[in-house]
Amino acid sequence: MSALSTAGPEAPEEPPLPLAIAFDNSYARLPARFYERVRPEPAPDPRLLVLNTTLADELGLDAGVLASPEGIAMLSGAEVPAGAEPLALAYAGHQFGQFVPALGDGRAVLLGEVIDRDGRRRDIQLKGSGRTAFSRRGDGKAVIGPVLREYLVSEAMSAFGIPTTRSLAAVATGETVHRDRPLPGAVLTRVAASHVRVGTFQYFAHRSDADGIRRLADYVIDRLYPEVAGAANPYAALLEAVALRQARLIAQWLAVGFIHGVMNTDNMAISGETIDYGPCAFMDAYEPGMVLSSIDRHGRYAYGRQPQIAQWNLARFGECLLPLLSEDRDAAVALAVERLSGFASAFEAAYFGRFLEKIGIADERPGDRDLVTNLLTAMQTGQADFTLAFRRLADCALADADAAPFLALFETPAGIETWLPAWQARIADDSRPPAEAAAAMRAINPAIIPRNHRVEAALDAIVENGDGSAYMRLLEAVTRPFEERPEDADLTAPPRPEERVAATFCGT
């Protein structure tokens, strides 16, 4: 990662290599009704804030060139590189349960696609680059706080091993954007396996555009799910495959205490990646009903409701595919229900599989799932910190270990004092030695997460004082989340009462 700076780039000692990106833009080859062609609005004074040099290398891009004036011009939208075909994608979506037939990329532009070093097709998109045909009354801009929040959280999720969009760069635009107050503008360069969403299918389904649905489904199969192409009914197989990916994804979210905050259908990527980090947050004390998003006034997207909402969103996806599943509507509905019926069991298997790993159990036996649920019950009763509880539990794997730091996380011992020796006995009887179990636990339970109070403090320091040191320190730490370093001990601590973040905000 390059260091965050509010200063303009220094002139290179030698002329940089020319900016050459081998775009191969498959989405632009779809019919014109799938998108609107648009040109990003030029940023008046673009300045590089942070550059993901590791991701640049994955994409086969030269980080030095990206950091040059020519590269920064591209990353800000001021210049469109050769081979790019900027598009604003059309989609609809259910927002908090209410259907909106035309949403689309109101402040994002898909520059184009590249094939990375592993042969994967990746979108390169600018967020905050100005108005598009879908902006409605918005200005299409983004401000520095939400841009840097998405950069940090998405890179942390990647470091956790959770499928996610990635952040290539954040660039200050040099202009003022008006929200609740004047704020500095910025553009995020986002990288994704695809930006097709459940809402993309809903856009065509609402218009009774069966040809559009079929073309989109064929495109998704070819790009993201080629393994289903040979199935007897590839569209039914696609529905099932998407459901299975979502089941695994939500289980991974819950395992790190992640709350998406806005699980609208236009924020569910068909690829199975986490997308659209708005008012997202991580739990401190374990509470299944936790809601932090300021716009989720009724708790629709609470931490513990995320599996249910994912299933609801998938049902909307299934409705879109009905014309492709069978010419007989009743048969199509029955097939969709059948292919979606496996979501619950797939999620349960992924969820308990992940949490059994978190408590160090390698070979599941009857009663092991009760160990998970009883621990979580004790954590909720005792208001134990979610991240620290699992991390410190690894230190208790040996029967003679000092359990005091773990037990100190619980405000009340109800349940946990009897649970701990039962778990230790089970670990002692597992297929691997307790010391190996402890090491495996430390490899899956992060020591450091983007705690809300740390993120807010780091962003405030940038916006208010132009000081990016806390942000860069936090970014470095959360992208190495399983390492426990004494110098980062303060970043592992839960917030004091006066530091707790009561609500997170989208920033659009």
Q: Of the given ranges (137-146, 274-283, 299-308, 495-504), which has the lowest mean pLDDT?
A: 495-504
What pLDDT is recorded for position 20?
81
With 50 as the cut, is the pLDDT of residue 12 above it?
A: no
pLDDT band, residue 5 (cuts 50/70/90): very low
**Residues 6 or more apart in contact with residue 400 via CB below 8 angstroms:** none
Give the CA distances from residue 24 to residues 58, 120, 199, in Å, rounded to whole numbers and listed in that order. Answer: 16, 12, 24
Q: Which of 192, 221, 253 is the last residue before a domain boundary?
A: 192
pTM of the model: 0.95
Residues 262 and 401 in one domain: no
Is-catalytic flag, 266?
yes
With 80 as the cut, is the pLDDT of residue 2 above it?
A: no
Arithmetic mean of pLDDT, 89-105: 96
Cβ pair 7, 47 in contact under 8 A: yes
Residues 167 and 125 in one domain: yes
Give the CA distances from residue 386 to residues 184, 456, 479, in Å, rounded to whole numbers and listed in that order. Answer: 34, 19, 19
Could you tell me if residue 9 is inside a domain?
no
Could you tell me if residue 119 is inside a domain?
yes
User: Crossing angle for the helix pair 306-325 and 329-340, nearest 10 degrees?
Assistant: 150
Instruction: Give me the residue label for tokens 């998407």.
Output: 242
What pLDDT is recorded for position 4?
62
Could you tell me if residue 483 is inside a domain?
yes
Residues 37 and 173 in one domain: yes
Q: Kindly state the tokens that stand for 243.
A: 């459901």
With 60 as the cut, is the pLDDT of residue 272 above it?
A: yes
Q: End-to-end CA distance of the chain: give it in Å, rounded.
A: 26
Cβ pair 4, 49 in contact under 8 A: yes
CA distance 359 to 473: 29
Cβ pair 263, 361 in contact under 8 A: no
DSSP code, position 271: T
- Could you give the number of structural domains in the chain? 3
CA distance 390 to 376: 10
Q: Which of 192, 226, 252 is the last residue before a domain boundary?
A: 192
Residues 494 and 459 in one domain: yes
Give the CA distances from residue 457 to residues 21, 149, 465, 467, in Å, rounded to whole numbers and listed in that order. Answer: 37, 11, 11, 11
Chain centre distance of CA 234: 28
Could you tell me if residue 21 is inside a domain?
no
With 90 as the cut, is the pLDDT of residue 333 above it?
A: yes
CA distance 240 to 323: 16
What pLDDT is recorded for position 17?
57
DSSP code, position 33: G
Q: Kindly state the tokens that stand for 231.
A: 């199935």
Question: Domain residues for 158?
Answer: 27-192
- Of 62, 105, 266, 296, the catalytic one is 266
CA distance 105 to 244: 27
